[in-house]
């Protein structure tokens, strides 16, 4: 997911669970409390592209496909679809059968009647991605890929009446439970796209009723439904009493068996009665609540790491006595410093970017802000995706002498004549402030002055989406395990409001991307990956920092938990003992 781009903005999501107190706004005693590290940017599946909004949306909206909860490598399986698609026409036609009797949550547009999912609802949502006023972060998925969709976009523009009436040649519904998608070319990642929130079905009558503004309402088919919403403070979801019969997985991989994650195999889900998401920015507050056993799941805050983990990397005896468990997970999330390549100062001066690349002590940053949990990057590709090369090396390192030399080449010896740079951070917490001050202090050693700008998370996303950032820390949690999902962050056509927040543009890179996106995994694709990486390391829109790993604590009473930064609809599987 994107940090905006998901931009993709990654946020740590911690789960609070209370087994004894009954929330008056949520029915039932098994309430999952989920604090979020920043404000909620949206609950519209057409625009959700960050981990905070995803944690809410995926509990309420469903897609044609989902990742199997207990299998690794990741395996897609039907969710609203009856089966995997029939793929014909040399990989360009997808025919998908949809389950019958799938009920939507109630909405005024249904006039008190039960509304079932139809194939046309998926078409409506894909049209929303193309409709310019939606300003969808998911448009990049299908831009130029579905027959007639770009023509639809250009014809309809901002006319809502035309949006409703105009059909897309490559999208059809022969009947209510058959969806046919015709592509302009082969697209191996298509199935991944149909598992993303962007492609959740939405009824046209809801879109009309809400005037295409779905930022404050949720009308999905999922196991939880919206009870109340305040984007700045909290969201409350109730268990959906009309949810169809769905069951906990009966199979899993070796790790699932070892960890006892199949004890509820075959039982009807969801197990919990509701979820309360609360915006709680400070990590220390979460830690204190965890120690009081008011919180069952916690990504260890950096300031409390030594209180939780001993020098050997294991749980402290104190936490063991409290029956706390530790799970360590590799992730598909990684971080870098981003430059706006359209910025007159940074974008036009590679030597200035090189000076910054050599001036920031990434090793120290990892030590200070991840307690050495983060793995220093060696590539623009994270471990865990096919084609990642562990022997790759970056062409820059922390070296102040080289940094000063590049700054002189840039025309700003000792920083003289260089205006102060704006470094935007993605939140207002103490940690956000410390991260900004770290970068500021590092660059001041060269004579570069930095203005650290604090933003609420939605404000940061808005700036990123509108190209208003100059210099910032960016991050990405992969939408799917494929190099194409990394490289699409850097192609010209994905300039904001797409995921290319740096506005990087290189025709040679774009040409190679158009070749790579059509390839299945194999030597040819991996060769292209290396060629494309060379352009990024040469042009330097990114300065790589680290690959994330999560150390997660949880109490015994939380059952069935298995972390994944690809599987966001996991709360339906959780149980509170």
The 8-class DSSP code of residue 153 comes to: H
* Tens digit of each residue's pLDDT (9 = 90 or more) over 275-286: 989 888 888 988
CA distance 272 to 438: 42
* Tens digit of each residue's pLDDT (9 = 90 or more) over 191-238: 999 999 999 999 999 999 999 999 999 999 999 999 999 988 899 999
CA distance 375 to 113: 53
The pLDDT value recorded for residue 508 is 97
Asked whether the predicted pLDDT for residue 310 surpasses 90, the reply is: no
The pLDDT value recorded for residue 285 is 87
Which residues lie closer than 8 Å to 355 by C-beta, 6 or more apart?
Answer: 403, 404, 406, 407, 410, 446, 448
Could you tell me how many helices (H) and strands (E) the chain has, helices first? 19, 20
Asked whether the predicted pLDDT for residue 19 surpasses 80, the reply is: no
Number of domains in the chain: 2
CB atoms within 10 A of CB 305: 14
Asked whether the predicted pLDDT for residue 405 surpasses 60, the reply is: yes
Q: What mean pLDDT do residues 395-415 have?
A: 97
Which residues lie closer than 8 Å to 278 by C-beta, 6 or more apart?
Answer: 16, 33, 34, 35, 36, 233, 234
Give the distance from CA 414 to its chain's centroid.
39
- The answer to whether the peptide bond before residue 549 is cis (omega within 30 degrees of 0) is no
Q: Is 574 helix (H, G, I), strand (E, B) or coil?
A: coil
Q: What mean pLDDT do residues 415-429 have?
A: 94
CA distance 212 to 202: 10
Q: Assign residue 463 the CATH number of its domain.
A: 3.10.105.10
Model confidence band, residue 268 (pLDDT cutoffs 50, 70, 90): very high
Q: Assign residue 105 the CATH number of its domain.
A: 3.90.76.10
408: burial class by Cβ within 10 Å (0-12, 13-18, 19+)? Answer: middle
The pLDDT value recorded for residue 298 is 82
Structure tokens at 468: 């208003």
* Tens digit of each residue's pLDDT (9 = 90 or more) over 438-455: 999 999 999 999 999 999
Q: Is residue 138 included in any domain, yes or no?
A: yes
Q: Is 424 helix (H, G, I), strand (E, B) or coil?
A: strand
User: Which of 156, 182, 209 is the last residue before a domain boundary?
Assistant: 209
CA distance 11 to 136: 20
Q: Is residue 172 included in any domain, yes or no?
A: yes
- Are 486 and 385 spatial neighbours (Cβ–Cβ below 8 Å)? yes
Model confidence band, residue 1 (pLDDT cutoffs 50, 70, 90): low
Asked whether the predicted pLDDT for residue 6 surpasses 70, the reply is: no
User: Which of 209, 229, 262 is the last residue before a domain boundary?
Assistant: 209
- Are 514 and 226 spatial neighbours (Cβ–Cβ below 8 Å)? no
Q: What mean pLDDT do residues 316-321 have?
A: 93
Q: Is residue 453 included in any domain, yes or no?
A: yes
**Residue 528 shares a structural domain with residue 394:** yes
Q: Is residue 533 included in any domain, yes or no?
A: yes
Work out the angle at residue 570's Cα, subtended by the Cα atoms of residues 569 and 571, and round it to the nearest 5 degrees: 100
205 vs 429, residue with greater confidence: 205
Q: Is residue 84 included in any domain, yes or no?
A: yes
Asked whether the predicted pLDDT for residue 126 surpasses 50, the reply is: yes
User: Which of 174, 209, 244 is the last residue before a domain boundary?
Assistant: 209
* Tens digit of each residue's pLDDT (9 = 90 or more) over 513-544: 999 998 988 999 999 999 999 999 999 999 99
CB atoms within 10 A of CB 271: 20
Q: Is residue 519 included in any domain, yes or no?
A: yes
Give the distance from CA 255 to its chain's centroid.
24
237: burial class by Cβ within 10 Å (0-12, 13-18, 19+)? Answer: buried
Residue 25 backbone phi and psi in degrees, to 5: -90, -5
Structure tokens at 521: 């995994």
Asked whether the predicted pLDDT for residue 12 surpasses 70, the reply is: no
- Are 61 and 221 spatial neighbours (Cβ–Cβ below 8 Å)? yes
- Are 503 and 467 spatial neighbours (Cβ–Cβ below 8 Å)? yes
Q: Is residue 378 included in any domain, yes or no?
A: yes
- Are 68 and 77 spatial neighbours (Cβ–Cβ below 8 Å)? yes
Q: Is residue 11 included in any domain, yes or no?
A: no
- Residue 369, domain extent: 331-548
């Amino acid at each position: 997911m994107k940090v905006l781009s998901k931009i993709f903005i990654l946020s740590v999501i911690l789960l609070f669970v209370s087994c004894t107190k009954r929330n008056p706004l949520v029915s039932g005693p098994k309430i999952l409390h989920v604090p979020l590290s920043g404000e909620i940017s949206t609950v519209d599946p057409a625009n959700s592209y960050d981990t905070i909004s995803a944690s809410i949306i995926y509990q309420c909206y469903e897609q044609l496909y989902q990742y199997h909860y207990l299998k690794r490598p990741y395996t897609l399986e039907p969710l609203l679809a009856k089966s995997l698609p029939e793929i014909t026409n040399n990989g360009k036609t997808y025919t998908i059968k949809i389950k019958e009797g799938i009920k939507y949550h109630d909405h005024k547009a249904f006039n008190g009647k039960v509304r079932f999912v139809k194939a046309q609802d998926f078409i409506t949502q894909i049209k929303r991605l193309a409709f310019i006023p939606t300003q969808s972060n998911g448009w990049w998925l299908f831009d130029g890929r579905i027959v007639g969709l770009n023509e639809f976009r250009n014809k309809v523009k901002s006319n809502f009446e035309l949006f409703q009436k105009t059909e897309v040649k490559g999208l059809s519904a022969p009947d209510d439970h058959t969806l046919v998608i015709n592509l302009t070319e082969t697209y191996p990642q298509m199935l991944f796209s149909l598992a993303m929130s962007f492609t959740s079905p939405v009824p046209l009558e809801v879109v009309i009723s809400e005037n295409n503004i779905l930022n404050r309402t949720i009308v999905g088919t999922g196991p939880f439904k919206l009870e109340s919403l305040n984007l700045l403070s909290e969201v409350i979801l109730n268990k959906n009493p009309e949810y169809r019969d769905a069951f906990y997985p009966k199979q899993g991989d070796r790790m699932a068996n070892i960890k006892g994650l199949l004890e509820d195999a075959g039982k009807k889900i969801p197990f919990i009665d509701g979820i309360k998401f609360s915006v709680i920015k400070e990590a220390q507050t979460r830690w204190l609540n965890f120690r009081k056993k008011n919180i069952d799941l916690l990504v260890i805050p950096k300031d409390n790491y030594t209180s939780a983990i001993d020098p050997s990397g294991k749980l402290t005896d104190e936490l063991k006595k409290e029956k706390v468990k530790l799970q360590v997970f590799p992730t598909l999330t990684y971080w870098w410093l981003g430059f706006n390549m359209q910025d007159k100062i940074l974008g036009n001066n590679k030597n200035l970017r090189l000076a910054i690349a050599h001036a920031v002590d990434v090793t120290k940053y990892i030590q200070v802000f991840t307690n050495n949990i983060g793995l220093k990057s060696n590539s623009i590709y994270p471990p865990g995706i096919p084609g990642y090369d562990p022997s790759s090396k970056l062409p820059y390192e922390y070296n102040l002498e080289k940094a000063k030399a590049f700054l002189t080449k840039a025309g700003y010896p000792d920083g003289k004549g260089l205006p102060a740079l704006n470094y935007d951070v993605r939140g207002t917490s103490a940690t956000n402030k410390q991260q900004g001050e770290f970068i500021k202090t590092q660059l001041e050693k060269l004579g570069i002055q930095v203005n650290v700008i604090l933003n609420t998370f939605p404000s940061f996303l808005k700036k990123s989406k509108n190209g208003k950032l100059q210099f910032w820390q960016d991050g990405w949690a992969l939408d799917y395990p494929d190099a194409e999902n990394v490289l699409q962050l850097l192609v010209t056509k994905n300039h904001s409001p797409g995921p290319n927040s740096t506005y990087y543009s290189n025709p040679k890179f774009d040409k190679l991307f158009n070749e790579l996106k059509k390839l299945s995994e194999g030597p040819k694709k991996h060769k292209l990956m290396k060629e494309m990486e060379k352009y990024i390391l040469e042009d330097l829109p990114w300065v790589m920092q680290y690959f994330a790993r999560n150390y997660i604590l949880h109490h015994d009473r939380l059952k069935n938990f298995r972390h994944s930064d690809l599987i966001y609809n996991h709360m339906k599987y959780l149980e509170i003992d």
